[in-house]
Amino acid sequence: MPSLTRAPAPLARIALVAAAALTAAGCGAPSGSQNDSGGSGGDWSPVTIEHALGSTTIEQKPERIVTVGWSDEATLLELGIVPVGMNASTYAGDEEGYLPWDLEKLEEMGAEKPELINTDDGISAEQVANLAPDLVLGVQSGMTEKEYKRLSEVAPTIPYLDEPWMTGWQEQTVTIGKAVGKEEEARTIADETVSYIDDLSAKHPEFEGTSYAVGTLIPSTGEFGFYVDKDARVVIMNQLGLTPAAFTDDLSVADGAFYGTLSQENSDKVDADVLVMWFNSAQERKKMEDNPVFQKIDAVEDDAYVGYVDPAKSMAISTPNPLTIPWVMDGFVEDLGKAAKGEAGASA
């Protein structure tokens, strides 16, 4: 998504970057929340997950799971498990905060909607505890050490594995699968999703040797922000067979950041065969596209530029997983194919 902070927050903020007691043990779980990974836990073997904040051992088979990481709930749903609670998406969700692919999957499963937790201002251990979980997943999150400690007093908690918000979708899938006793199934799902991406790439030989840049506009400074390295948008583009534009290697990237900045005055340095931009609004996109400086970028002049404003598409691409990838990729890859041929046409 256009966010350069990775903290789920209202749109205005997204544009840039004592433990609670179990007070509701009788809280009803959504239908389908009991997973089918084996009985009531009698055949469960303790599982230990290593992560950035230490390690977590899951002693008993989890039955009530709360997800507080972006897309963790989608990965769980794809494994056939409905969480009792998940974080609300105030950026790309509906009026309540549910994302479209989650709703479609829940309907397919015939399951009730999980309770939503607003994590805009941090993860509330009390809210999580009210759902009486036996596992908390924040694999795709920026969970602080303080939050981790408080949540761990509520239930075994899995935060990000290496860097905040930077867990790769395949590793995320396998980690969640391992945590719920479905590691083999998770690996299969991840492999099948990779094959799906490979098949899409094979249908577009024009991607080979085509350079790209994926960016957004930073409203507070008016600078471009171009995604780099481990950012999910970059990972997906690389998996499709495109090549990062060389100029992105020269960007100023702060330690731990997933984007580098470039002033609009230096637009002539945006040397990429294909340019993809994510905007916060149609007004923001129009203002940029009407800018003569932007219009002189080679990819824009060559009809190899695509601009997006759809929050759901942005969320699906920026937090990919086996549920969102099939949801968004067909249309996205079609747009990329047109851009690679210089036939992008109107922005999406």
Give the Cβ contact number of residue 196 at 10 Å: 15
pLDDT at 21 > cutoff 90: no
Q: Please say whether the beta carbons of 161 and 171 come within 8 A.
A: yes
Task: Please report the pLDDT score of residue 230 as a whole number.
Answer: 85
Tens digit of pLDDT for each residue in 80-129? 999 999 999 999 999 999 999 999 999 999 999 999 999 999 999 999 99
Q: Residue 17 pLDDT > 80, yes or no?
A: no
Sequence-distant (≥ 6) Cβ neighbours of residue 94 within 8 angstroms: 100, 103
- Rounded distance, CA 91 to CA 41, Å? 37
- Which of 34-43, 44-53, 100-109 has the least mean pLDDT? 34-43
Closest CA to 93 of 75, 74, 112: 74
Q: Which of the four pLDDT bands, split at 50, 70 and 90, describes residue 219?
A: confident
pLDDT band at 43 (very low <50, low <70, confident <90, very high): confident
Cα–Cα distance measured from residue 195 to residue 171, given in angstroms and rounded to the nearest whole number: 16
Q: What is the pLDDT of residue 251?
A: 94
**pLDDT (0 to 100) of residue 346:** 52
pLDDT on residue 37: 38
pLDDT at 42: 61
- Please check the confidence at residue 40 and state whether its pLDDT lies above 80: no
Question: Averaged over 230-251, what is the pLDDT?
Answer: 95
Mean pLDDT of 128-133: 98
* Position 25 pLDDT exceeds 70: no
Instruction: Please report, rounded to a whole number, the percentage of residues in the chain having pLDDT higher than 90.
Output: 83
Where are the alpha helices (H) located in the chain, listed in sequence order?
Answer: 11-14, 72-78, 100-109, 125-129, 145-152, 169-179, 183-202, 232-239, 282-289, 292-295, 298-301, 311-318, 324-340
Q: Is the pLDDT of residue 13 over 90?
A: no
The DSSP code sequence of 163-192 is STT---HHHHHHHHHHHTT-HHHHHHHHHH
Higher pLDDT, 21 or 182: 182
The string of DSSP letters for 100-141 reads HHHHHHHHHHT-PPPEEE--TT---HHHHHTT--SEEE-TTS
Mean pLDDT of the chain: 88
Please report the pLDDT score of residue 211 as a whole number: 98
